[in-house]
Amino acid sequence: MVQSRTSRQSPQNPVAHGTDDDPRLAAEPAAALAAARRRAVRDGDRQIDTAHLLHSLLEQDPQVRAAFDGGPQLARLLGYLVQRSIGYGLRWQSGVEDSGTLPVVTAVEGLSPLAAAALEQACVRAALRDGAPARGVDLLAAIVADPQARAVEVLTRAAVDVQGLRARIEDGPRDLRARAGGAEGAC
């Protein structure tokens, strides 16, 4: 008899019962959060961490993909993330992702402290920019802000220049829309 990977989840697992309908998020980051939740549940993780969010953002948002240096870098990064999801992340399942460098935010059910802080920072970034819902690149910027984030570890191991990535994000949404082939953001 084959046992499904989701059967390892207990009914008390906060990841499985969290909510993804934050009105402060545009469609792409909301979809990425839902996908990250599904990925964490499927992988048997106790919390959604920044690497789950990064993986889902790359799948969901062309502007996030446009922030990277192109095909070979994206292929290497996605390959690394897939390896993580099929076993590499097991060493992280028992620990909580929290570097202590970001401000403490109210706990969000099912999210690591760093992932919750990144979501909050993405919303603050969007509010300061134009008050529109946070876009995927806002969440990406918040995810890579803390050098102790698991997403930053994944990026570094996949040979992504994190400083260069931060600079491309800060270049602004017009540059990322052009690199994404003209895809319009939610704002």
What pLDDT, in 10s, does the model give residues 114-155? 999 999 999 999 999 999 999 999 999 999 999 999 999 999
Distance of CA 144 to the CA centre of its chain: 9
In a domain, 125, yes or no: yes
Domain count, the chain: 1
Burial of 177 (0-12, 13-18, 19+ CB in 10 A): middle
In a domain, 67, yes or no: yes
In a domain, 1, yes or no: no
Domain carrying residue 55: 23-90+108-179
In a domain, 84, yes or no: yes
Q: What predicted TM-score, i.e. pTM, was given to this entire model?
A: 0.76
Average pLDDT over residues 101-118: 71
In a domain, 11, yes or no: no
Rg of the chain, C-alpha, whole Å: 16
- For residues 22 and 133, give the distance between their C-alpha atoms in angstroms, rounded to a whole number: 9
pLDDT at 179: 55
pLDDT at 173: 55
pLDDT at 115: 94
pLDDT at 103: 46
pLDDT at 174: 54
In a domain, 60, yes or no: yes
